[in-house]
Structure 1
Amino acid sequence: MAATPSTTTPPVDSISPEELTAKAVNKRYEGLVMVRTKAIKGKGAWYWAHLEPLLVHDTDTGLPKAVKLRCSFCDAVFSASNPSRTASEHLKRGTCPNFNSLANPTSSVSPSQTTVAAATSTQRSRKRSSSSVTVTATGGRGVLVGSGLDCSYQATPLSIVDPSRFCGDSAYSLSPGTVSGGSLLPQHQQQLVLSGGKEDSSALAMFEDSVKKLKSPKTSPGPTLSKSQIECAVNSLADWVYECCGSVSFSSLEHPKFRDFLNQVGLPPVSRTVLAGGRLDAKYKEVKAESEARIRDALFFQVASDGWKVKRFASGGGSLVNFTVNLPNGTSLYRRAIFLNGSVPSKFAEEVLWETVTGICGNSVQQCAGIVADKFKGKALRNLENRHHWMVNLPCLFQGFNCLIKDFSKELPLFKTVAENAFNLASFINKTSQIRSCFHKHLLQECGSVGLLRVPLHDIENVNAGPVYTMIEDILNSARALQLLLLDETFKMLSMEDPFARKIVEMIRDAGFWNELEAVHSLVKLIKEMAQVIETERPLVGQCLPLWDDLRTKVKDWCSKFHIAEGPVEKVIERRFKKNYHPAWAAAYVLDPLYLIKDRSGRYLPPFKCLTLEQEKDVDKLITRLVSREEAHIALMELMKWRTEGLDEVYARAVQMKETDPVSGKMKIANPQSSRLVWETYLTEFKTLGKVAVRLVFLHATSCGFKCNWSLLKWADAYEHSRVGMDRAQKLIFIAAHSKLERRDFSRDEEKDAELFALANVEDDVLNEAHVETPSV
């Protein structure tokens, strides 16, 4: 126990008489407050529920000079010298007018009625529903007094409780009391039992409040808001509901608790029919007009289409295809959504894409610089590009990286072997009860928690599938527990009798099994992390070649670390690269000033030396295709000049200037628009090549964009054949997508919640590690 610091007590002579009096008064006040507090909790006299100690200060010195008692019924103030006498004279003898009229036990009342008086003290709280209540009765009438239920009323006992419930119970009796000063003095007290149980006390309190309002109606006005403030608040509420895009249901606005909240802050109830009707239409028109104006202001644009590849609905019946418009200034605008069921023919996809383009720019179709879409079966993108020479139609880079994992699963024997071994091991541990119990004992010792190893139901060879990857991850996380399992006597006995168990023992002891398991897990994790960065940062088309080179370097290091032959792995990567490759990757790479390399002369030159011979030819072919026949030779001449002269050092360094990103902490380009702006403002001598460059360098390489919440997708799937339902879904998606793209928020609310709870679990695990006692083996 820490020592109490010593304090210097001033001599008695130095304290003035006023200060001594104030000290005594203050001590008296604190004592009364403590007594009253105990009484309210049911450990003192009943009258403290109606008498409140007050500390009176001197107006000149400000020091406490006296202690008074205030009646909570009539606000009268009395001396605090004798609280018991004050209660008898003021409350019991009828001096208090309010107490006499509301709680006088001798007032007339019908035997079949119950009169409840809502005379409460200012310190009454809602906790009274669980407080103790006592009743005494004489002649069929009683007085209800309690420390928590701050009321007194006269009632017939039979109207509150059933006497037959207490037959033979000697602990409960209603004995005649003694009348003193117009009140009943109880001889026997017992906690009141209501027929509805403990929850009846809450109902009784509500009834008491109702009676009080009828006897002395007093309105307690909430916050007073002006008409404009109310309209502004309701508009903000509506915008929040729309932009949540299904996470907040319209029906939840009519929840009693939410309506109570609106009432508390001074807002009127909000009707779901109004929000889903006129307000929704008005908001949609406003957002649509703003989006149209921004598209008209741009000289050209790119259409991004996402959703052809991935099934969106949990029911599995349909999918949502989103169409976004990417503008040269780096912003993205939502355009439309279509709901599809089943497989989509390539011709249908081609028609929908072109219809979207013409719906944006009408007959001025050359404003569309190209399309980027997640890949679907067929040649829709290529057909549109062949018919419209100015377009650059790209497959989604993010989709290409994800497909690479599937390629490894199919073409590398290592993946198949690891998946089968992991499945056999996990199934054996989960299905055998005795072994599972032993495993859980060691798992609890090592990890602090237990659970089954997650095993996929089917398609165990597809490591790209989530269940297979998580199964491998579970086994790696349980490696130490599996090693200890081999030393368990119970497991040893079972493995001697079961041949399959002996194979599992050999597998766990084999270092090669763990090396292969970790190798597969590491490669899949590597590709997934790169794909996640691509989805988040949405790189431009000029970044495609550097990203694939970065992947090759990382995979080469992976082969070296896990002693894997490089040949088969490189073959899989190159095959996927060729499937996703587009000549625009190489053209944008050498035309984007961001990738210029400093020469000995001091000028910055395009990185043609990083291209293969075939890629150099692709650059020439693409540039000549994107211009008219008359301008083709001029474009090639300017390309040669660009290749030999490049860009001035000052402008090149300005384009390549980097700064620390405050969110991620990584170094990023300070102004991503500089690559395009330097062609439009400084490199004016490249008139033909410049027109190609400004359209190429701004193109996005991924179709990743807005993600709709699952709740709205389910709703849209349910009302697929309802014109009104689908119209509302379209408008909600448009408003929500516009808001999210404005904030550059490309995640789904459900994903954010999952991350939040996962983070909370990690924090809990870290805290629990210091407190969980590890059981002995």
Structure 2
Amino acid sequence: MTSTTSTSTDPLPSSDDAAAAVRAVNKRFEGLLTVRTKAIKGKGAWYWAHLEPILVPHPDTGLPKSVKLKCSLCDSLFSASNPSRTASEHLKRGTCSNFSSGLRPGSLPSPLPISSITPGSNRKRPSPATSPPSYQNHSSAMVESSRFEIGYNNNNNNNSLHNQHHQQQHLMLSGGKDDLCALAMFEDSVKKLKSPKTSPGPALSKDQVNSALDLLFDWFYETCGSVSLSMLEHRKFQAFLSQVGLPNNLRREISGERLDARFGEAKAESEARIRDAMFFQLASDGWKSGDWLNFDLCCSGGGESLVKFVVNLPNGSSVFQKAVFTGGVENSKYAEEVLWETVTAVTGSVQRCVGIVADKFKAKALRNLEVQYHWMVNTSCQLQGFASLIKDFNRELPLFRVVIESCLKVANFIDNESQMRSVFLKCRMQEMDCGGLIRVPSPKCDPLKNFGVVFPMLEDILSCARVIQMVVMEDGFKVMCMEDPLAREVAGIVQNEGFWNELEAVYSLEKLVRGMVQDVEVERPLIGRCLPLWEELRSKVKEWCGKYNIVGGPVEKIVEKRFRKNYHPAWAAAFILDPLYLIKDASGKYLPPYKCLTREQEKDVDKLLTRLASREEAHVVLMELMKWRSEGLDPLYAQAVQMKQRDPVTGKMKVANPLSSRLVWETCLTEFKSLGKIAVRLIFLHATSCGFKSNWSFMRKISANKHSRVALERAQKMIYIAAHAKLERRDFSSEEEKDAELFALSGSEDGMLADVYADAPLV
């Protein structure tokens, strides 16, 4: 390409002439940019990939003075009057030392640099009609380069030039367009052979590499199986490690010495905490197969479960102890043996274990251990109690049975009848902007025995009430009712206002109990809180009965029956001894809330305290209990214990210092020597057994390797490290719950995302 236009301007006395000269320079610059852009896209000369137009400013005014061509290989500047001549003299004749594609007469053409192919061009397979720009760039660059190279070697043979150029333009590789990727790899290999000493850039120091690997391994261990070992050998991850300068052979190292060292650190820290504490409680979670807190989980088919043991300490912290695979064994004697073996493994002095809380085997294993070791208080998990209450309603309350059977008929008819299914989907999309059928329980599950599998169906039917009513009003459905008795029955159910009221009542009661389960799971109350929790439940159930005109007798009977199954005398004793629940009387004293106990519960308090005390101190404990009942605690200290503050996360009022209840007995109530020793142990006990939640992928992976001693040992160490980290940062949720929360948060941004992707092409 040639040009006769001058590329420089001299300062002129006239401002108009100077402005015109600047415009001419800018126009020339923009024209060269346009030509270069087209050439890079494969529609121009090859040399524009190495020559870049730049503006040269005037030293005095700073305005554009001229246009130059800059060599991107050696940063040399040339006149922009004749780019073709500049390319021939600077690039072809070898003046540029960094240009490796130049040819000498009689030499063979060198392969095109790998940079001529756009990165990532092989991600999507092009359609037969058109090829991606990266392929076009590469092919055009090859054709242009070959054309000029042949022209240089055959200046006097125009026919030969025309024929060879024609052949290059129609060059076809045997493997089609996909061969360009292989060709790029081949060119890259040639480039490495021509420049074998090319340095990759500044390398990380040894300390930087070790620090980065430590962080990477800690992340891997603490994810508790969310990332599998095999993923470390994924080619993309391997490429990332190489890109940042880290070694990519990590699989052996991550399960070798580093794992042992990290496990040793966590184990030593946990044992030191346990040694410092005067007593502890053992929490055992996982005996009940399946996730009984997951109401959407279908019937679990049994199988083995992972039982986790956590040590609760008086300072409010928890320490992971171990995880055991039960192998599907549901035997009370076996559970008793495992529990006691764990207690003795934690400490040499078993008297330091003041209690056990577990999610199963309360009636047998836990009670047997209490009988054998009088100083222990063994209770069942409150989450288990409330979750079982929903099952009780499902089995024993006729209202649940009627609503479930009606909902099953409606849901199955809509989902299974093709005509009704299409109408339902259409109406649901129009009314609710969402699709999907009604979630019906699996035929393998008995909905009358497991309410957890029924709840999603009730939720769908209740949320789609208007849509379902529109479906039964369709003309097609009316015609179907004339011929099908089941359709008439479904229409009668949907058009009955009583059905919807009963469905809302059942759904509301389940949500009520489920909400309490979630609150217990978040707050993780101590056993002194158990009686107030059940009293709160009774009050809410009475309100529910009044709201939906339900006879309260049968419902309250079911609640009381479940309360008696879960009740432990320690609930009442901790409630009386905990200064958090002291009540101010008319005289201004803060006294234990005996008026909230029944006569039987008062007797339970005396019996339990007598059992927990030594034989010599039993009568002293009862005397001090009478003094505590009549005198209580100094009002100033009682108010300090009961001081509350608003939780910045939940917005609820919570106790400012939960440890004050125990500290008061150890520092201020020193006159109660015998009773105080029992009180500090009793009121610290936790009412829930869940320490943290494991993700299911990790449990399945460990279960698959249980037959290998080495693999199982490594798995146990990884579990320990992950659990230790979770308890350290008080993270009790699972990765699945966090993912659900993140997706829920991203749902609020759907509008913004829709705008962003509205004009995006479909791939």
Structure-2-length-normalised TM-score: 0.88
Per the TM alignment, residue 694 of structure 1 is displaced from its structure 2 partner at its CA by 0.7
Per the TM alignment, residue 218 of structure 1 is displaced from its structure 2 partner at its CA by 5.3
Per the TM alignment, residue 614 of structure 1 is displaced from its structure 2 partner at its CA by 1.2
Post-superposition CA distance 1:318-339 (Å, at most 9, x none) = 1111111000000000101111
SS at match of 1:198: helix
Matched-pair contact (CA < 8 Å) for 1:321–1:337: yes
Q: Distance in 2 between matches of 1:134 and 1:675?
A: 77
Q: Distance in 2 between matches of 1:249 and 1:515?
A: 49
Are 1:69 and 2:35 an aligned pair? no
Per the TM alignment, residue 16 of structure 1 is displaced from its structure 2 partner at its CA by 9.8
Residue of structure 1 aligned with 2:364, choices 375, 379, 396: 379
Per the TM alignment, residue 761 of structure 1 is displaced from its structure 2 partner at its CA by 5.0
**Partner in structure 2 of residue 523 of structure 1:** 509
Alignment of 1:374-523 (within 5 A): 374-376=359-361, 378-456=363-441, 457-462=443-448, 464-523=450-509
User: Which moved further from structure 2: 124-133 or 82-91?
Assistant: 124-133
SS at match of 1:54: strand
User: Which moved further from structure 2: 603-612 or 401-410?
Assistant: 603-612
Post-superposition CA distance 1:230-283 (Å, at most 9, x none) = 112111211111111111111211222212211222212242122112221221
Alignment of 1:215-614 (within 5 A): 215-217=194-196, 219-311=198-290, 316-362=302-348, 364-376=349-361, 378-456=363-441, 457-462=443-448, 464-614=450-600
Per the TM alignment, residue 663 of structure 1 is displaced from its structure 2 partner at its CA by 2.3
**Partner in structure 1 of residue 695 of structure 2:** 709
Q: Distance in 2 between matches of 1:454 and 1:134?
A: 50
Q: Which amino acid aligns with 2:660?
A: S
SS at match of 1:292: helix
Q: Which amino acid aligns with 2:110?
A: V
Q: Distance in 2 between matches of 1:622 and 1:448?
A: 59
Structure 1 residues 307 and 97: alpha-carbon distance in aligned structure 2, compared to 1, 3 A threshold? closer
Q: Distance in 1 between matches of 2:16 and 2:724?
A: 74
Matched-pair contact (CA < 8 Å) for 1:222–1:266: no
Q: Distance in 2 between matches of 1:637 and 1:29?
A: 101
User: Which moved further from structure 2: 501-510 or 248-257?
Assistant: 248-257
User: Which moved further from structure 2: 756-765 or 507-516?
Assistant: 756-765
**Partner in structure 2 of residue 4 of structure 1:** none
Q: Which amino acid aligns with 2:437?
A: L
Q: Which amino acid aligns with 2:285?
A: D
Q: Distance in 1 between matches of 2:25 and 2:440?
A: 75
Per the TM alignment, residue 203 of structure 1 is displaced from its structure 2 partner at its CA by 2.4
Matched-pair contact (CA < 8 Å) for 1:245–1:732: yes
Q: Distance in 1 between matches of 2:465 and 2:281?
A: 49
Q: Distance in 2 between matches of 1:741 and 1:48?
A: 61
SS at match of 1:65: strand
Q: Distance in 2 between matches of 1:635 and 1:672?
A: 25
User: Which moved further from structure 2: 188-197 or 659-668?
Assistant: 188-197
Q: Distance in 2 between matches of 1:611 and 1:762?
A: 48
Residue of structure 1 aligned with 2:119, choices 126, 139, 148: 126
Q: Distance in 2 between matches of 1:590 and 1:520?
A: 35
Please list every run of at least 4 consecutive aligned residues from structure 1 whose deviation after the TM superposition is greater than 6 angstroms: 16-20, 132-135, 154-157, 182-185, 312-315, 765-769
Q: Distance in 2 between matches of 1:725 and 1:698?
A: 38
Per the TM alignment, residue 668 of structure 1 is displaced from its structure 2 partner at its CA by 1.7
Per the TM alignment, residue 539 of structure 1 is displaced from its structure 2 partner at its CA by 0.8
Q: Distance in 1 between matches of 2:121 and 2:723?
A: 49
Q: Distance in 1 between matches of 2:458 and 2:99?
A: 79
SS at match of 2:176: coil
**Partner in structure 1 of residue 294 of structure 2:** none
Residue of structure 2 aligned with 1:745, choices 722, 731, 741: 731
Matched-pair contact (CA < 8 Å) for 2:366–2:378: yes
Structure 1 residues 464 and 145: alpha-carbon distance in aligned structure 2, compared to 1, 3 A threshold? closer
Q: Distance in 2 between matches of 1:763 and 1:133?
A: 37
Post-superposition CA distance 1:705-763 (Å, at most 9, x none) = 12222122112222222211211121111111111111111122123223333554575
Matched-pair contact (CA < 8 Å) for 2:42–2:136: no
Alignment of 1:28-177 (within 5 A): 28-57=28-57, 63-91=63-91, 94=93, 96=95, 102-104=101-103, 106-109=105-108, 115-118=109-112, 125-126=118-119, 130-131=132-133, 146=140, 152=145
Matched-pair contact (CA < 8 Å) for 2:114–2:184: no
Q: Distance in 2 between matches of 1:67 and 1:296?
A: 79
Matched-pair contact (CA < 8 Å) for 2:283–2:358: yes
Matched-pair contact (CA < 8 Å) for 1:442–1:481: yes
Percent sequence identity over matched residues? 61
- Where does the alignment leave 5 or more consecutive residues of structure 1 unmatched? 1-11, 110-114, 136-143, 158-175, 773-777
Post-superposition CA distance 1:674-721 (Å, at most 9, x none) = 111111111212111111111111110010112222122112222222
Are 1:211 and 2:190 an aligned pair? yes
Q: Distance in 1 between matches of 2:98 and 2:616?
A: 104
Structure 1 residues 20 and 613: alpha-carbon distance in aligned structure 2, compared to 1, 3 A threshold? farther
Q: Which amino acid aligns with 1:266?
A: G
Alignment of 1:554-703 (within 5 A): 554-703=540-689
**Partner in structure 2 of residue 165 of structure 1:** none
Q: Distance in 2 between matches of 1:411 and 1:314?
A: 22
Q: Distance in 2 between matches of 1:133 and 1:523?
A: 64
Per the TM alignment, residue 366 of structure 1 is displaced from its structure 2 partner at its CA by 1.2
Structure 1 residues 487 and 655: alpha-carbon distance in aligned structure 2, compared to 1, 3 A threshold? same
SS at match of 1:744: coil
Alignment size in residue pairs? 725
Q: Which amino acid aligns with 2:434?
A: S
Q: Distance in 2 between matches of 1:515 and 1:528?
A: 20
Per the TM alignment, residue 119 of structure 1 is displaced from its structure 2 partner at its CA by 5.1
Q: Which amino acid aligns with 2:55?
A: L
Q: Which amino acid aligns with 2:389?
A: L
Q: Which amino acid aligns with 2:82?
A: N
Matched-pair contact (CA < 8 Å) for 1:276–1:728: yes
**Partner in structure 1 of residue 172 of structure 2:** 193
Structure 1 residues 21 and 575: alpha-carbon distance in aligned structure 2, compared to 1, 3 A threshold? same
Matched-pair contact (CA < 8 Å) for 1:635–1:689: yes
User: Which moved further from structure 2: 575-584 or 264-273?
Assistant: 264-273
Q: Distance in 1 between matches of 2:453 and 2:148?
A: 67
Per the TM alignment, residue 488 of structure 1 is displaced from its structure 2 partner at its CA by 0.7
User: Which moved further from structure 2: 656-665 or 217-226?
Assistant: 217-226
Post-superposition CA distance 1:134-171 (Å, at most 9, x none) = 89xxxxxxxx9735x698359999xxxxxxxxxxxxxx
Q: Distance in 2 between matches of 1:133 and 1:511?
A: 66
Per the TM alignment, residue 128 of structure 1 is displaced from its structure 2 partner at its CA by 7.4
Q: Distance in 2 between matches of 1:727 and 1:98?
A: 60
Q: Distance in 1 between matches of 2:113 and 2:447?
A: 75
SS at match of 2:65: strand
User: Which moved further from structure 2: 217-226 or 714-723?
Assistant: 217-226
Q: Distance in 1 between matches of 2:615 and 2:17?
A: 109
Per the TM alignment, residue 665 of structure 1 is displaced from its structure 2 partner at its CA by 2.5
Matched-pair contact (CA < 8 Å) for 1:128–1:150: no
Post-superposition CA distance 1:55-104 (Å, at most 9, x none) = 33456665543321123455432101232443355456x36456986343
